[in-house]
């Protein structure tokens, strides 16, 4: 059987650049070389696409920091009529964009692959864009009847022209602590737990540093449960896991740098909670029109028994510490088989669209 030429895109212009490099490296290490020929494509922070001189496997991080794409390599480009064929990379069968955050997880790069008629792993343009935008995702999830924490959307313009009114609305509709978040980012970047009204401004400024649209969300006292979803038309849910951050909340440090983070798989919560999470995961996946894979994150309020959807990640982390691959491993699908399944789903979706 001919090997599948799989382009792996990593790095990119988002603040989650380094996380993407670590994810890509793990995927490359796990792929079966008899089945896949990997074509690594590095995207620099400036947005240049390169066939890198050094593979991501050779990149080392200095001083505890995460690795970065190097701006050294041959430039490569997607051409609408030829995919990556004319780019010096040779023909590619499938693309796996392992890019978290804006310009990767948000539908932009997916649109490019649609134009180029290239099969790619994961959700399409609409689902990617919806899930990336926490404000829009909430509207769609609410329409599907999914439970979520109360929130307000704050455009930067409103805050600049009338901060008093925004503060009053927060006080009126929500109770402190609240969380301020950029609408379109991830990895907890720009997120603040705002405990008192006097630091709402600082929280919003931190969010606006990344996005002119912010959310202020009701803080909940809850455990954090996560569930993996895999499939196209008939998606399946994995076992449910719990993240136990050793920090005040699940911030960037806790996610990637802190060894005290604990992932509990399966989550030590009642069976009924786990089955509710799995069912809500599938509903959220379908409400947003996701394809391929996603990780759906929840808050489980033990005091009330309530389960709330927090967010849907259409390109979940694939680092060695990442929940998504661990959930599937616990569900009987080992890492290399998981990646192979994602590639199959990409090909299947591409064929179905063509019909
Ligand atoms: N409403 C909330 N109540 C309690 N904790 C929250 C709330 N919103 C976010 N958090 C904390 O912040 C983390 C990151 O928030 P999240 O919305 O998942 O953003 P990201 O897309 O960056 O992962 C969560 O995993 C959780 O620890
Ligand atoms: Mg999150």
**Quick one: pLDDT band at residue 1, thresholds 50, 70, 90?**
low
- For residue 69, pLDDT beyond 60: yes
* % of residues, the chain, pLDDT over 70: 94
Angle CA 295–276–307, to nearest 5: 80
What does the pLDDT average to over 207-217?
96
CA of 188 to the centre of ligand 1 (A): 7
- For residue 90, pLDDT beyond 80: no
Name 323's Cβ contacts closer than 8 Å, sequence gap at least 6: 226, 228, 241, 243, 263, 265, 295, 316, 317
Question: Is 176's C-beta closer than 6 angstroms to any atom of ligand 1?
Answer: no
pLDDT of residue 154: 97
pLDDT of residue 182: 95
Length of the chain: 355
**Quick one: pLDDT band at residue 187, thresholds 50, 70, 90?**
confident
What does the pLDDT average to over 44-49?
91
Q: How far apart are CA 182 and CA 178, in angstroms?
A: 13
Over the chain, what is the mean pLDDT?
90
Protein residue with its CA nearest to atom 15 in ligand 1: 188
More confident residue, 177 or 87: 177
pLDDT of residue 318: 81
- Window from 17-31, 71-85, 177-191 with minimum mean pLDDT: 71-85
Question: Is 226's C-beta closer than 6 angstroms to any atom of ligand 1?
Answer: no
CA of 199 to the centre of ligand 2 (A): 22
CA of 186 to the centre of ligand 2 (A): 6
* % of residues, the chain, pLDDT over 90: 68
CA of 343 to the centre of ligand 1 (A): 30
- For residue 62, pLDDT beyond 90: no
Choose which residue among 104, 217, 250, 251 to substitute to test ligand 1 binding: the one with the highest number of ligand atoms within 8 A of its C-beta: 250
pLDDT of residue 26: 87
Which atom of ligand 1 is nearest to 243's Cα?
25
pLDDT of residue 320: 64
Distances (CA, A) of 349 to 7, 9, 114, 244: 17, 19, 12, 35
**Quick one: pLDDT band at residue 326, thresholds 50, 70, 90?**
very high
CA of 154 to the centre of ligand 1 (A): 17
**Quick one: pLDDT band at residue 2, thresholds 50, 70, 90?**
confident
What does the pLDDT average to over 142-146?
98
pLDDT of residue 77: 81
Please give the structure tokens belonging to residue 277: 């999470």
More confident residue, 187 or 282: 282
Choose which residue among 191, 213, 316, 322 to substitute to test ligand 1 binding: the one with the highest number of ligand atoms within 8 A of its C-beta: 191
Task: Convert the pLDDT of each residue in 148-173 to its tens digit.
Answer: 999 999 999 999 999 999 999 999 99
Protein residue with its CA nearest to atom 2 in ligand 1: 219
Choose which residue among 310, 314, 324 to substitute to test ligand 1 binding: the one with the highest number of ligand atoms within 8 A of its C-beta: 310
- For residue 308, pLDDT beyond 70: yes
Task: Convert the pLDDT of each residue in 228-284 to its tens digit.
Answer: 999 999 999 999 999 997 777 777 777 766 666 789 999 999 999 999 999 999 999
């Amino acid at each position: 059987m001919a090997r599948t030429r799989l382009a792996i895109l990593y790095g990119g212009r988002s603040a989650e650049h380094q996380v993407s490099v670590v994810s890509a490296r793990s995927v490359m290490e796990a792929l079966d070389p008899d089945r896949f020929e990997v074509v690594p494509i590095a995207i620099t922070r400036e947005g240049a696409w390169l066939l890198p001189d050094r593979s991501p496997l050779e990149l080392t991080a200095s001083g505890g920091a995460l690795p970065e794409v190097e701006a050294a390599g041959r430039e490569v480009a997607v051409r609408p009529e030829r995919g990556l064929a004319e780019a010096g990379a040779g023909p590619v069968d499938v693309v796996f964009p392992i890019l978290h955050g804006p310009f990767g997880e948000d539908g932009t790069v997916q649109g490019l692959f649609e134009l180029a008629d290239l099969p790619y792993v994961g959700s399409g343009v609409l689902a990617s864009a919806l899930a990336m935008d926490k404000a829009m995702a909430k509207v769609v999830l609410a329409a599907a009847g999914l439970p979520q924490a109360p929130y307000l959307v704050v455009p930067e313009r409103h805050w600049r022209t009338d901060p008093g009114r925004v503060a009053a609305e927060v006080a009126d509709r929500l109770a402190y602590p609240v969380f301020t978040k950029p609408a379109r980012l991830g990895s907890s970047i720009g997120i603040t737990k705002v405990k008192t009204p006097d630091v709402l401004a600082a929280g919003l400024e931190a969010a606006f540093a990344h996005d002119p649209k912010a959310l202020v969300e009701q803080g909940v006292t809850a455990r954090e449960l996560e569930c993996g979803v895999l499939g196209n038309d008939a998606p399946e849910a994995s076992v449910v896991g719990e993240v136990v951050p050793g920090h005040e909340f699940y911030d960037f440090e806790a996610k990637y740098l802190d060894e005290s983070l604990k992932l509990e798989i399966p989550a030590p919560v009642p069976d009924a909670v786990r089955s509710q999470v799995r069912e809500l995961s599938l509903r959220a996946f379908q409400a947003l029109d996701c394809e391929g894979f996603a990780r759906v994150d929840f808050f489980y309020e033990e005091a009330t028994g309530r389960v709330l959807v927090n967010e849907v990640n259409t390109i979940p982390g694939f680092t060695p510490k990442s929940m998504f691959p661990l959930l599937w491993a616990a569900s009987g699908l080992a890492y290399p088989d998981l990646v192979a399944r994602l590639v199959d789903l990409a090909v299947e979706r591409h064929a179905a669209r063509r019909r």
